[in-house]
């Protein structure tokens, strides 16, 4: 969440940033933050003043008693009791203001970086780079959902029977392709210096709040009411929460973690071709990369993460483009996001396969993730994460773009992992 220091010292800048993100009610929210902070500080100052007076009076009582001034001593005791009674009301007012302030701060999104373009949605995102070669498909080329049925790779109907729409069943070479991609992505991350983590697939509410899924996306997460646990929407949540309430040292930064996990999302979207097959699922597999870094180095880390994802799509021989998201299309917690999309030749459309984001200190402030500087002070870290990569649309593009009359060709980089070079 935003720090009070930023809101109070750079109020106009904060309001401009929230406007770029199209946050409704920004002025009212910031005015309320300033009001609650003033109320909290006023109560705190009055408490401090009263406590100092109580301390002085308490010291004087013993002296007065020794001097035989019992009447004055009793008067001082009465005064102390009155002040302490008044302090209870001040403490209540201060705590209520602090609690209301904390809840309100959690509803205000992160500020966008200055390089984030203006805009309301996907049509306003800026294409930063394009790469790869778009394949020329045979005249009888078909989308991946038909290829999955033809080669018995993924059974969508069986998934509906077992769990419901959005939970496909992978079979034979389809399952092996999933496992191959996961291992390929993890090996590439390890070779790039990321420490592999195997996290839980459920998190508590504190973890959801720490990374910003709660309260913003509560309705999009599967929730177990009995144990108050949430199925993770991405490995970012448990991995980043490793560093909740942690003070790191200089030599521990940057932290570089990667993790494979299944991901669960209740909001799978609308109906139609845009969500057919693997295009949008309730459960899918993904490898995530997470970094914790110093503020002065986090944008270098962001560049390295973008280059890492670009290397993956190049090795998979997929045509791609990199988008710089506009203010209106960014997530609640992000300061800047770059999306990777691959081109699906059979569907003739771009499919998002990765988001790489820098959250700056927004998540770290919620997590209380800090590092100790050279002069022994503690500062908030910057947190970053990216998909490297999400499997469903990668699989969709691989199947569609590599279909031939003989079968579906496997990219060279994946063959050592699949154990086969063609699906026929």
CATH number of the structural domain spanning residue 47: 1.10.287
372 belongs to a structural domain: yes
Q: Each residue of 353-401: pLDDT tens digit?
A: 999 999 999 999 999 999 998 788 999 999 999 999 999 999 999 999 9
Phi and psi at residue 59, to the nearest 5° = -65, -35
Residue 60 counted as an annotated binding residue: no
Domain boundary among 77, 105, 133: 105
Same domain, 266 and 337: yes
pLDDT of amino acid 375: 81
Better-predicted residue by pLDDT, 35 or 78 = 35
Domain boundary among 105, 135, 161: 105
Same domain, 43 and 127: no
The answer on pLDDT for 57 being more than 60 is yes
Look up residue 122 and give its two tokens. 């996907």
Please give the tally of structural domains in the chain.
Answer: 2
What is the C-alpha to C-alpha distance for residues 337 and 327, in angstroms, rounded to an integer?
9
Same domain, 309 and 395: yes
Find the CATH number of the domain harbouring 240.
3.30.930.10
112 belongs to a structural domain: no
Which strands form 378-380's sheet, in the order they lie side by side?
Answer: 247-248, 370-372, 378-380
pLDDT of amino acid 77: 87
110 belongs to a structural domain: no
Same domain, 278 and 344: yes
Same domain, 86 and 150: no
Residue 115 counted as an annotated binding residue: no
Residue 361 counted as an annotated binding residue: no
What SS3 string covers 41-54?
HHHHHHHHHHHHHH
For residues 284-294, average pLDDT: 98
Expressed as residue numbers, the domain containing 146 is: 122-423
% of the chain with per-residue pLDDT over 90: 87
Cα dihedral 354, 359, 365, 366, rounded to 10, equals -30
Residue 352 counted as an annotated binding residue: yes
Please, what is the average pLDDT of the chain? 95
The answer on pLDDT for 90 being more than 80 is yes
pLDDT of amino acid 268: 55
pLDDT of amino acid 139: 85
Same domain, 287 and 322: yes
113 belongs to a structural domain: no
The answer on pLDDT for 272 being more than 80 is no
Q: Exposed, middle or buried, 55 (CB in 10 Å: 0-12/13-18/19+)?
A: exposed
The answer on pLDDT for 216 being more than 80 is no
Same domain, 98 and 138: no
Same domain, 91 and 136: no
Residue 270 counted as an annotated binding residue: no
pLDDT of amino acid 59: 85
Same domain, 251 and 359: yes
Same domain, 130 and 94: no
For residues 315-324, average pLDDT: 98
What is the pLDDT confidence band of residue 267, given thresholds at 50, 70 and 90?
confident
Same domain, 206 and 337: yes
What is the C-alpha to C-alpha distance for residues 165 and 154, in angstroms, rounded to an integer?
13
Residue 288 counted as an annotated binding residue: yes
Q: Which residues contact 175 (CB under 8 A, 6 or more apart)?
A: none
CA distances from 424 to 147, 170, 404, 417 (A): 10, 16, 10, 17
67 belongs to a structural domain: yes
For residues 151-169, average pLDDT: 97
115 belongs to a structural domain: no
Residue 385 counted as an annotated binding residue: yes
Q: Each residue of 329-365: pLDDT tens digit?
A: 999 999 999 999 999 999 999 999 999 999 999 999 9
Residue 28 counted as an annotated binding residue: no
Same domain, 189 and 53: no
Tokens 């959801």 belong to: 208
Domain boundary among 72, 105, 138: 105
Residue 265 counted as an annotated binding residue: yes
Q: Is the peptide bond before 215 cis (omega within 30 degrees of 0)?
A: yes
The answer on pLDDT for 312 being more than 90 is yes
Residue 234 counted as an annotated binding residue: yes
């Amino acid at each position: 969440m935003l720090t009070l220091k930023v809101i109070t010292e750079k109020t106009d800048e904060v309001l401009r940033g929230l406007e770029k993100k199209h946050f409704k009610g920004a002025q009212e929210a910031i005015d309320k933050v300033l009001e609650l902070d003033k109320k909290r500080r006023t109560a705190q100052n009055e408490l401090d003043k009263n406590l100092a007076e109580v301390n002085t009076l308490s010291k004087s009582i013993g002296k007065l008693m020794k001097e035989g001034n019992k009447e004055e001593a009793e008067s001082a005791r009465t005064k102390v009791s009155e002040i302490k009674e008044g302090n209870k009301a001040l403490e209540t007012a201060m705590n209520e203001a602090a609690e209301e302030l904390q809840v309100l701060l959690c509803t205000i999104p992160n500020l966008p970086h200055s390089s984030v373009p203006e805009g309301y949605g996907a049509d306003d995102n800026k294409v930063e780079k394009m790469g790869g070669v778009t394949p020329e498909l045979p005249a009888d080329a078909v989308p991946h959902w038909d290829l999955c049925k033809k080669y018995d790779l993924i059974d969508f109907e069986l998934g509906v029977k077992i769990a419901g729409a959005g939970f496909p069943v992978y079979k034979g070479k389809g399952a092996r392709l999933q496992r191959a991609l996961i291992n390929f992505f993890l090996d590439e991350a390890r070779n790039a210096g990321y420490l592999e983590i195997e996290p839980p697939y459920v998190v508590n509410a504190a973890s959801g709040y720490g990374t910003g899924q709660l309260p913003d996306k509560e309705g999009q997460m599967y929730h177990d009411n009995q144990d108050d646990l949430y199925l993770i929407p991405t490995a970012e949540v448990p991995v980043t929460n490793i560093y909740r309430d942690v003070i790191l040292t200089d030599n521990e930064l940057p932290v570089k973690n990667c993790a494979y996990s299944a991901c669960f999302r209740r909001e799978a979207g609308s109906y139609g071709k845009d969500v057919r097959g693997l295009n949008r699922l309730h459960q899918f597999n993904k490898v995530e990369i997470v970094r914790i870094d110093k503020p002065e180095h986090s944008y270098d880390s962001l560049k390295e993460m973008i280059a890492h994802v670009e290397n993956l799509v190049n090795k998979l021989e997929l045509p791609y483009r990199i988008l710089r998201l506009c203010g209106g299309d960014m997530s609640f917690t992000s300061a800047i996001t770059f999306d990777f999309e691959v081109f699906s030749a059979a569907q003739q459309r771009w499919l998002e396969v990765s988001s790489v984001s820098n959250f700056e200190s927004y998540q770290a402030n919620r997590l209380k993730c800090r590092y100790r500087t050279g002069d022994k002070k503690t500062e908030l870290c910057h947190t970053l994460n990216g998909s490297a990569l999400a499997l469903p649309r990668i699989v969709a593009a691989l199947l569609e773009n590599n279909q031939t009359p003989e079968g579906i060709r496997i990219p060279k980089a994946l063959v050592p992992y699949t154990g086969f070079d063609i699906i026929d």
